[in-house]
Amino acid sequence: MLIALLVTVVVVASLPWWLPARIVALRARVFARINGDEGIPVPGDLVGIDRFREVYAQPAAGGRSKGAALSDLFWYWLAPGPEMHQEHLEAGERYDAVARVTRGLLAVPRAEAEELTRRCVARTLGDARGLVRLRDLMMPLWAEFSYELVFAEPCPREARDLIAGNANDVVTALKGTGLRHMERRHRLTSYLRTRLSRVRLPLPPGLSPQEQAFYLQGAFFNTAVVQMSEAVAHLLMVLAQHPGVQDKARTGDARYLDQVIAETLRLYPLFGIAHRITTDGIPLDEHTTIPAGSVLCFNYPEFHRAGFADPGHFDPSRFDPARFNGPAKDLNHIPFGIAANRPCPAWRLAPITMRVAAAEILRRYTLHTSASHTRSLPNRGPCLLIPRDDPPRKVRGLLLYMRFRDRWEDVWRGVVQLVLGTYMVWDARRQRLCEHYFEENSYAHSGPGSGS
Ligand code: HEM
């Protein structure tokens, strides 16, 4: 009896050390089972790391949605209006019109972008202090930033809450830590419809008002807010984990902060996998061709690890120009995608604003964390913020508490992700949003799988 009790205590107490990894492995098996493994992993047996860029850059690697079961899952997560999300539009007139407006809205002069970021930090941080979750802290900031980018006026409080609520819902579902709340997302669409005439540039022609609202919601109030919040949360996490780097970054050396940002996005790229559907065959050698209609899955974390010594180690000096020979563009580092194949339109603006946001936060706070830091950041970045003008205090106790809480949350979160993630993968396969859309609109689209 005593032995049984002892064994139970040991098993329960050791859960945080072994259960999360097993649940992750189980989740991967369940997802592969429901989703099928239709994709060709790159790098993989067919395409090695040495040809990663070349294949990604192929014009035939251009399909975005049509013909991949994986698209049903992304459309489900990004609904409503995934068919108008720039990331998932097939090449063509519609895509060109939408991409042009996105470029226009993001083409803000550097000084203006920096000033806007400063203002948004000041307005949204308020009296934040103590134990926070960095991703949650960042959402209102980037909600306000995106709003002002689109409407050129300060973001009212209720709009900020709507935008942050929507972005949070999308990212929570993407990580499998919560289900979708469509009413929350529809509320933002309805709000954006009332604001279309106030957008500071003409919206893409040929789109209905509903489609224009979906376009804005997808690019500026889902993707922009989620990506910026996650990127800066990762950046602040590494600064919190490396006090020496934090001190040096605080000195105001912009080039050093750029190296820290580059290394953060190398170790924690925001995209795990970006997929493309081939619109034509891609010959690899005289015997092998990737057939049209294949789903190529480009694995960012693997690409970012290859070609670097001790790739798991955080080392901003890898990006010190004095340390590497040859141009930076030859490094295995593509945080914003590949220039030849639909790269991120915010590749110029995002690093500028990340740098200012980090500098402003470092000016106000000292950051500490003892929580785990993984690429998908399901714990939302637990961090201790101490205002820099507070008298020095001991933080060890709080950090011990944070570590303990994080470990146990991991156990619970793993189970939640397994259950909710499995449900959403199943539900997305059942709804088949993407497949149905292309069936119903086959006359209007000739994406991959039809013309090849
Ligand atoms: C640090 C922040 C960001 C990172 C690291 C990032 C990363 C990326 C990457 C890697 C891609 C290409 C994926 C692929 O090849 O399929 C992408 C695409 C995209 N990103 Fe970003 N992104 C960031 C911020 C933003 C922001 C602020 C916006 C604002 C509108 C944005 C909008 C988009 C759009 C619309 C696409 C699709 C491009 C297309 O297919 O034409 N991103 N992003």
pLDDT per residue as tens digits for the range 297-315: 999 999 999 989 999 999 9
Q: Is residue 370 part of a domain?
A: yes
Strands 365-368 and 382-387, bridge-based pairing: antiparallel
By residue range, what is the domain housing residue 406?
75-247+304-440
**Paired tokens of 91:** 């090449």
Give the pLDDT score at 13: 77
387 belongs to a structural domain: yes
Q: Please report the pLDDT score of residue 33 as a whole number.
A: 64
What's the token pair of residue 87? 């990331």
The answer to whether position 147 is within a domain reads yes
- The model's pTM is 0.94
Q: Is the shortest distance between the CB of 353 and ligand 1 below 6 Å?
A: no
- Does ligand 1 come within 6 angstroms of the Cβ of 231? yes
Q: What is the pLDDT of residue 37?
A: 66
d(Cα 409, Cα 374) in Å, to the nearest integer?
Answer: 14
Whose C-alpha lies nearest to ligand 1, atom 22? 344
3-class DSSP state for residue 179?
A: coil
Residue 33 alpha carbon to ligand 1 centre in Å: 29
Residue with tokens 């590749």: 347
Strand partners, 158: none
146 lines ligand 1 (CB under 6 A): no
Which tokens is 94 given?
Answer: 């519609």
Write the residue with the smallest CA distance to atom 17 of ligand 1: 344
Bridge partners of residue 385, in order along the sequence: 130, 367
Atom number in ligand 1 closest to CA 341: 15
Q: Which helix (H) or strand (E) holds 9?
A: helix 2-13
Please list the ranges in the chain whose pLDDT falls under 70.
24, 26-37, 443-452
Going from the Cα of 346 to the center of ligand 1, the distance in angstroms, rounded, reads: 6
Residue 1 domain-assigned (yes or no) = no
Domain count, the chain: 1
Answer yes or no: are the C-beta atoms of 148 and 200 closer than 8 Å.
no
Locate 63 and state its tokens: 């399909």
pLDDT in tens, 137-161: 999 999 999 999 999 999 999 999 9
- Report yes or no on 21 lying in a domain: no
Query: Is there a domain that residue 161 lies in?
Result: yes
**What is the Å distance from ligand 1's center to 298 Cα?**
15
Please tell me the distance between residue 227's alpha carbon and the centre of ligand 1 in angstroms: 8
Q: Whose CA is nearest to atom 18 of ligand 1?
A: 344
Strands 295-299 and 39-42, how do they pair? parallel
Question: Would strands 382-387 and 282-283 be described as parallel, antiparallel, or unpaired?
Answer: unpaired
Can you state the angle between helices 69-78 and 15-35, rounded to 10 degrees?
Answer: 120
Reply yes or no: is the peptide bond before residue 109 cis, omega within 30 of 0. Answer: no
Give the position, in ligand 1's atom list, of the atom nearest the Cα of 231: 1
Question: Distance of CA 412 to CAs 147, 174, 408, Å?
Answer: 35, 17, 7
Residue 359, domain member (yes or no): yes
Q: Which of 337, 349, 345, 336 is nearest to 101 (CA)?
A: 345
Give the position, in ligand 1's atom list, of the atom nearest the Cα of 228.
Answer: 2
Is residue 8 included in any domain, yes or no?
A: no
Segments in 336-432 forming alpha helices (H): 349-364, 396-431
Cβ atoms 421, 27 nearer than 8 A:
yes
| CATH number of domain containing 216 | 1.10.630.10
Q: Which atom of ligand 1 is nearest to the CA of 275?
A: 16
CA-closest candidate to residue 277, choices 88, 150, 131, 136? 88
> Ligand 1: does its nearest atom lie under 6 Å from the Cβ of 155?
no
Distance of CA 253 to the CA centre of its chain: 27
126 token code pair = 């308020």
Residues comprising the chain, all counted: 452
Point out the ligand 1 atom lying closest to the alpha carbon of residue 300: 10
